[in-house]
Structure 1
Amino acid sequence: MTFRARRSVLYMPGANERALEKAKTLEADSLILDLEDSVAPDAKADARARVAAAVKGGGYGKRELAIRINGLDTPWGVEDLKMAAEVNPDAILVPKVARPGDIVTVSRIHAGMGGAADTRMWAMMETPMAIFNVREIASVHQVARLSCLVLGTNDLLKESRALATGGRFAILPWLSMTLLAARAYGLDVLDGVYNDFRDEAGFRAECEQGRALGMDGKTLIHPGQIAVCNALFSPAPEEVEWSHKIIAAFKLPENTAKGVITVEGRMVERLHLAMAQRVADIAEAITAP
């Protein structure tokens, strides 16, 4: 599969045709076309039709398109999944995944509906049970075509009764548990949203925290958050330059079989080569037309 940068992942309300059109001009890496939380019950069918038309119509360039469906235990979930199977987005975001079977079931029903095999599954991690079961959920990645875990921090705060104060102190262990499970099975993981989109300083601090934890990017609720998010989750120019030097050094004939080499006076191991290759891949994905 093509490598994708997922620095900025913007939720777009599926019932808002104007927002869906505007998204074609935004610099977000990925868009989540939402049929769940942002859509009122009496607007679900209309939102489903608008999202279907948007994905079919295209015009989103290299932006990754994910559709967040309603749960299969709701009156709308099956029809949402059927629509997604017909229009073939890049990914389907499954809400309130609590156990491995939840994501496996959606993946298998999607396949049975004729959905494209290259449509990935993303799992919303937004309940205490999801955090308890995160390792098992991540472990079914091959069976379920799972590629990304998405943290639903607002719901985690609500369900746990924790307070969103002190730099997210209360939920940091849950963020780290999700990240480690994702990394153990080769998945991406996206940080939760920052609600006060007018508070750039607070948003910047939370992006920096997410990057320090190892998140691949952050989910967003407002276009005004995209630029800061892209900047903070992008590798710095000097990091990209150093990564290319490591890659080039290991390609030299005298180094191809070595586990440890010296680059500009610094010891570099093959684990650094893997890290360098990811940085280079991210930089290439960001600059690709």
Structure 2
Amino acid sequence: MNSYRIPEIAAKYLEYDMIQKHTDLPRFPEFRSRLLYAFLDKHSALAQQSELFTLVTSLVQIGMDTHDMVSVNNDVKEQAESRSRQLKVLAGDYFSSRFYYLLSHAGQIDLVGMLSRGICEVNRLKMNLYLMKKQLKLTADEYIRQMVEVKTQLFLSFSSLLEERFYGIWPEILRLFTRCEVLLQEIIRSETSQHYRESWGFWHVLQWGTKEEKKLLEHEEADQAKLRSIWLKYRVTSQLYQLLDACFKELQEKLQGIQPENLGKELSSIGESFRSYLSGPRATQEI
């Protein structure tokens, strides 16, 4: 079995001085990348391509995530902000273009079509989610479910390529890992009170808050101190820790008995970072 080294290979496409100096990039899709590599590496026919397939999928995902970071407000007056916005657009295009280049040079034209269809489906899901947000029709639970679907869709494109023994467990394991990932990101967001309109806490308070609290949330420039007090009142961070704990326990149950045994051990190892986060002092206090 080859060792997992996708982030190191991807670094030569991601770590450009101009990008690092003038803008920031989204997180590398570490959990989804490691999962895809682990399953492909057990494939009797595709093991030799596991590194290439995982690399290009990760680059496409980063490209889409980079475009998602571009502000929808086109009225950018500061030069630094304008340059950052432009570089996000160009960087997202560049990362996506590497997917076509690498696969075409490897003669994997069928995979280009498969991932292209996956990209279209991701964009469809994003548009639906955007409309639901715009119309304030989301519940907190639906928000998490929608986010998981958006993040897993590209990687689910590989479902038909995996060996038959993995047909049932691949989507389930991928979604559970990604749900844990989304909840962990929401915890970090709740602890910093940043981008509250794009958070689980926003939809939770909108669902259960008072009329005055809901009105406050609808203001684009809401008072951060008041928001923090609302977050504390509704125990947003605490509830997210509880959701993460429950999701991780469900994941552990699903991983028991997975065959081959070395795959089960590898998947359990990938999930250990969730355990370490849940066993930290802050998590212990919250749960």
Task: Compute the TM-score of the two structures, normalised by the length of structure 1.
Answer: 0.29
Task: Compute the TM-score of the two structures, normalised by the length of structure 2.
Answer: 0.30
Structure ranking higher in strand proportion: 1
Structure ranking higher in helix proportion: 2
